[in-house]
Chain A
């Protein structure tokens, strides 16, 4: 089975800190995605990547950046964490074409 691993299940950071959320997939998927999930808002796309060193902005990229130096790893970076970035962050990967996504277990980030 494809596995998507997010480095932390729970994370507490202080306002202004630089935060790294790591995501690794083990099945050679080309596509990787970062979403955040908030109550009543569903999943919102932050960034996605279709190839190594390639990235595209999603619907809510402000305050975030990403890095994809290797095919299996897609990192989300909060340049200066703010309280409104407290959320559940979900990483996903997929093959190209008509395929479903495989999600990680999520990282619940609290910014205090």
Chain B
């Protein structure tokens, strides 16, 4: 099974609401990264959080990391229709390439 598993698989919210996505993983990590993918396109790197960090912000994004629970969450505040995309977590375990989860599909209704 995947190293990273996102939850929920799909999320539908209204514009202006906050969206929270979770990621759980199995083995110890060096860092965890979040990516966005618009339909049919490549992935775009959003944010990287290292194993010794607990929280990180970038604009409307907030990422938390709990290494004791092997989990991370991505919060998008004040969602916009343009945030509609799939979001993936990816773990760097020192294995020399990232391992990706299956993603959360976010739909933001205008």
Contact = CB atoms under 8 A, between A and B. Distances in A.
Interface in A59-112: 88, 90, 92, 98-106, 108
Contacts of B25: none
Contacts of A90: 42-43
Interface string B40-67: 1111110010100000000000000000
B41 A58 contact: no
B102 A103 contact: no
Interface stretch (B13-21, B77-85, B90-98): B90-98
A42 B96 contact: no
Q: Is the interface of A mostly helix, strand, loop or mixed?
A: strand
Contacts of A58: 97
A20 to B, nearest CB: 19
Interface residues of A, number: 25
A102 B97 CA distance: 13
Nearest to A90: B42
A45 B103 CA distance: 15
Contacts of A4: 42
A35 B43 CA distance: 11
Given A42-B102, A43-B100, A45-B97, A103 B43 contact: yes
Interface of A: 4, 33, 35, 40-43, 45, 48, 50, 56, 58, 88, 90, 92, 98-106, 108
Nearest to B3: A42
Q: Is the interface of B mostly helix, strand, loop or mixed?
A: strand
B99 interface: yes
Given A42-B101, A42-B103, A48-B97, A98 B31 contact: yes
Nearest to B43: A103
A106 B50 contact: no
Given A35-B100, A45-B97, 11 more contacts: A42-B88, A42-B102, A43-B88, A43-B100, A50-B96, A58-B97, A90-B42, A99-B48, A101-B33, A104-B42, A106-B40
A30 to B, nearest CB: 11
Chain A CB count within 10 A is highest, among B35, B40, B42, B101, for B42
